[in-house]
Amino acid sequence: MEPIRVAILGFGTVGKGVYAHIKEEQQSLEQTLNRPVQVTAVLVNDESKHRDVANHVLLTTNMDDVLAQQIDIVVEAITGVESAYQYVTAAIEQGCHVVTANKAMYAARGQKLQELAEERRINVKYDASVAGGIPIIDTLNQIHQLESVHRIEAILNGTSNYILTAVAKEGLTFHEALTQATRLGYAEADPSHDIDGFDALNKAYILANLLRKDYQEITVNRRKGLDQLQLDEVLNKQTNQVLKPLVTIDATSESAIEIVVEPTWVEENHPLSSVDGVQNAIVISSDRLGSLKLEGAGAGEKPTAHAIVQDIVKTVKEDNRILV
Amino acid sequence: MEPIRVAILGFGTVGKGVYAHIKEEQQSLEQTLNRPVQVTAVLVNDESKHRDVANHVLLTTNMDDVLAQQIDIVVEAITGVESAYQYVTAAIEQGCHVVTANKAMYAARGQKLQELAEERRINVKYDASVAGGIPIIDTLNQIHQLESVHRIEAILNGTSNYILTAVAKEGLTFHEALTQATRLGYAEADPSHDIDGFDALNKAYILANLLRKDYQEITVNRRKGLDQLQLDEVLNKQTNQVLKPLVTIDATSESAIEIVVEPTWVEENHPLSSVDGVQNAIVISSDRLGSLKLEGAGAGEKPTAHAIVQDIVKTVKEDNRILV
Ligand SMILES: NC(=O)c1ccc[n+]([C@@H]2O[C@H](COP(=O)([O-])OP(=O)(O)OC[C@H]3O[C@@H](n4cnc5c(N)ncnc54)[C@H](OP(=O)(O)O)[C@@H]3O)[C@@H](O)[C@H]2O)c1
Ligand SMILES: NC(=O)c1ccc[n+]([C@@H]2O[C@H](COP(=O)([O-])OP(=O)(O)OC[C@H]3O[C@@H](n4cnc5c(N)ncnc54)[C@H](OP(=O)(O)O)[C@@H]3O)[C@@H](O)[C@H]2O)c1
């Protein structure tokens, strides 16, 4: 059987995780898909760093060389918007399916990519971009297909949640908590977008866009990060309340889907009050289902790699050309 | 476009809910599937009861008449094992896909049905049979495809959870709580299997079977219902513990998957301690994902109907003959 040829763009936390997952689960993947999955090329930024990849894998800084490898599926796990967008566009134009973990890129350009992909009957999947190991995209898509989702409440940034939990439960200062989050590998190397709310906003935008009807806008009513919290706000604890880095998506207005990103005091019986540390969670409210909550690992090498490999499996199953 | 022809077996809480859902969402279903969905026949037990169905729908007590209607998909929402199994078998043999909500039947005969269905390239879907509105079957299947799930902890019987919550938080007696659950429509007309643990056990069995490898057995290490609780056990509250109707599925042994159904005291920081009232929840533990929790409505007309219609949509999408 011809292998399914996968390229991985980026070989940081996520890229390495995907590489390891595919290697470790070689057999079970082949059993599931009736064809082996092979990582054929890895794209990086800095050629001089040591990379622990097998000899047959092309390691390059040149996307043209990657695409010359007859790739079936491109996994995009780099940082930043522009290069990522260009690489992914080139991949789609060449008929490759795409699986991305890059929320900044997908929030900014996801719609364009989906349009381009639809023309070419290509899949662009992005489950790993929101709440890492929680299968939120497919779940939300399926519910939304059957009935209106009117509200989402979520904790989508693990670093912020870790910090607020450590401040509240361990009595750390904000800076001690951030340092600890960085040391434990929860915060990004540059955690500024964890802290200023833009990471959560990007994820909220991706979810809102999934719910959006053609004529609706997405409006951001407020984006407040931990960095804008005043000390007295944090200390202003009410009994039975906890401060959570909340994302709210309100889809009840006909003209717009409204996003609020803001640390918020919630009652102890609020469904997100017990979500602590680096955990993420999402509560989806709709008429028939009532409220459905998903809670799990929002980031990290293994959960994120799992989500990406899940998207690879789905891509293969949905493409009869690949599946043969 | 030719409609997709659906038969509904049983017109109780679930059957009626499915009928209403399909009627109310006619337009959006047609948009999703590119073909209208039409309820063509309804099978009941007692012909004399009044049924609120449209004139063009065949209402009958005879399964042969149902199958004479060129049905594409049979929704099975009756009670009991034997008749349900016979109807579903006849449907599969005639080439109909099946969607069932009947956990007693599916726990007892699911494997046989899947074998029969595989021979005929038919889908038998059963998401509604476990935890109503929580999309547990697909989620678990997908995780399990990629890596070993070693443990599941869950609350799968809403009535038991409702009763234990009411006893603990409202100070009701067991019997007052059960009466209230019945009055509110949470308990089944005959709630004996809610109370003796068999309802939860059937659902546990369905989940365990999904994780089972060919050579593994499923063993039930303990099934204890609320009816076997001694008063002193209920009153024996430890500080920071709550009594929950717990289901545990342990898949770490190579020879067997082990099920325990038992009211259990859990610590307040246990992921299921905050799941109150009629809510259901499932915690799936695996190496890479860590733990993923799903929480939502475990039963009721609308959530269960949503789950069934979801399975109808998936069935259509997976069948290229139907989809055209
Ligand atoms: N970490 C998580 O838990 C997580 C979870 C979900 C989603 N994500 C998203 O996944 C993406 C990757 O995250 P990460 O944590 O793996 O980041 P990372 O550890 O910083 O790694 C980024 C990788 O991308 C490469 N890269 C950056 N710009 C590039 C360019 N222009 N061309 C080629 N390669 C380039 C880097 O190359 P060098 O190695 O040569 O520097 C590096 O290997 C990000 O978009 C992130 O937001 C991360
Ligand atoms: N209720 C829930 O929230 C829920 C959730 C998930 C799964 N389920 C499962 O879904 C199934 C249906 O539950 P339900 O609550 O809708 O039950 P229900 O309200 O008691 O309704 C049962 C229906 O099945 C019909 N029926 C029973 N035996 C039959 C037979 N031999 N032939 C033809 N029709 C027969 C009855 O006919 P008559 O009307 O003529 O008596 C009735 O319409 C059960 O297996 C249940 O465990 C229920």
CA distance B178 to B167: 10
Buried b (16+ CB within 10 A) or exposed e, B236-262: eeeeeebbbbbbbbbbeeeebbbbbbb
Q: Which ligand does the CA of B17 lie closest to?
A: 2
Ligand 2, residue B44: give the atom nearest the CA: 34
pLDDT digits (tens, 9 = 90+) for A66-112: 999 999 999 999 999 999 999 999 999 999 999 999 999 999 999 99
Ligand 1, residue A49: give the atom nearest the CA: 40
Cite the active site residues of B.
203
Contact (Cβ atoms closer than 8 angstroms) between residue B161 and residue B277? yes
- Given B21, B288, B309, which is nearest A305 (Cβ)? B288
pLDDT digits (tens, 9 = 90+) for A22-44: 999 999 999 999 999 999 999 99
pTM attached to this predicted model: 0.96
pLDDT at A178: 92
Mean pLDDT of chain A, nearest integer: 94
User: Looking at domain B4-132+302-323, which CATH architecture does it have?
Assistant: 3-Layer(aba) Sandwich (3.40)
Q: Under an 8 A CB cutoff, do B295 and A290 touch?
A: no
Q: Does A146 touch chain B (CB under 8 A)?
A: yes
pLDDT at A236: 62
Contact (Cβ atoms closer than 8 angstroms) between residue B265 and residue B246? no
Instruction: Quote ipTM for the complex.
Output: 0.94
Q: Do domains B4-132+302-323 and B136-297 have the same CATH topology?
A: no
CA distance B203 to chain A (A): 19
Mean pLDDT of B194-205: 97
Q: What share of chain B is helix, strand, coil (3-state, %, to 5)?
A: 45, 25, 35
Question: Which string of DSSP letters, residue by residue, matches A300-322?
Answer: SHHHHHHHHHHHHHHHHHH-HHH
> What is the domain partition of chain B in residue ranges?
4-132+302-323, 136-297
Mean pLDDT of A163-187: 89
pLDDT at residue B323 greater than cutoff 50? no
- Given A25, A288, A292, which is nearest B146 (Cβ)? A25
Q: To probe the interface with A, which of B134, B287, B288, B304 has the most A CB atoms within 10 Å?
A: B288
CATH no. for A136-297: 3.30.360.10
Contact (Cβ atoms closer than 8 angstroms) between residue B130 and residue B103? yes
Mean pLDDT of B176-184: 90
